[in-house]
Amino acid sequence: MLRSLTLCTSFSSSTVISKPFFSLSPKLPLTFSPLSLPFPQTKRSISLHRAPMNILKNLGFGTRPTQSMENSAIAQGPDDDIPAPGQLFAQFGAGCFWGVELVFQRVPGVTKSEVGYSQGFTHNPSYEDVCSGVTNHNEVVRVQYDPKECSYDALLDVFWARHDPTTLNRQGNDVGTQYRSGIYFYTPEQETAAKESMEKQQKLLNRKIVTEILPARKFYRAEEYHQQYLAKGGRFGFKQSAEKGCNDPIRCYG
């Protein structure tokens, strides 16, 4: 019988509790016993009978994909996709994008969400490229929202509440540059709001915020199986509600 080891981390606005443990196998099937945990706890099971992922790759010591200067320039270019009429884009990185997407799906006024990769140097990266730690991409959620129903400040509040912005290149047991905290703005107004919001949030915390605030760059939509992953059932087939206003605890890995 396989045994599993469950690790949990939790975060509040005044206290950070973090166990120094590497993510052994991100987004791969693991032995798991689902529990209902209070938001925003992260639950993950690690099978002791599965060979761990190469930790050095998680930290960025992988094989760098070959890229031309032209392709790198494309990746570093602006996100030139266009939202639906009357809608706006917002883009956030806050750890594993599965749980981050679900929390934004539940926000009234959010009309569409997609997970993907951005802020890197590789054109058309795959999930494996991003996990190598050498492309500099972040796992991000791009949100399309109706500003008449949902303010950008409201989205920022969700962003801060969802993750720990004081841990560099890490969220809980997920370690790597692709899990860094980031706000990627599309307009000068979003940039100003993001910086003011971070200043207010810093006053509530006893550790320095390491969130990066940068212009939104080329968005590469992740593979289809990553899209709305938890709402579709995750790895165990247990669908999680994406209904507007839902506050059910989120099981971050399904």
Q: Which tokens belong to 137? A: 């991409």
Active site residue 150: no
Helix (H, G, I), strand (E, B) or coil at 186: coil
Alpha-carbon 44 to chain mean position: 16
Judge contact between 191 and 201, C-beta under 8 A.
Answer: no
Helix (H, G, I), strand (E, B) or coil at 166: coil
Neighbours of 26 (CB within 10 A): 20
Question: Which residue out of 8, 96, 131, 246 is catalytically annotated?
Answer: 96
Q: CA-CA distance, 193 to 187, in Å (whole number)? A: 10
Backbone angles phi, psi at 207, to 5 degrees: -130, 155
Judge contact between 133 and 61, C-beta under 8 A.
Answer: yes
Cα separations in angstroms, 64 against 120, 134, 218: 12, 6, 19
Verify cis geometry, omega within 30 degrees of 0, for the bond prior to 165. no
Q: Roughly what angle, to the nearest 10 degrees, separates helices 97-105 and 152-162?
A: 140
Q: Which tokens belong to 112? A: 């569409």
Q: Determine the residue type at 212.
A: E
Q: Name the residues annotated as catalytic.
A: 96
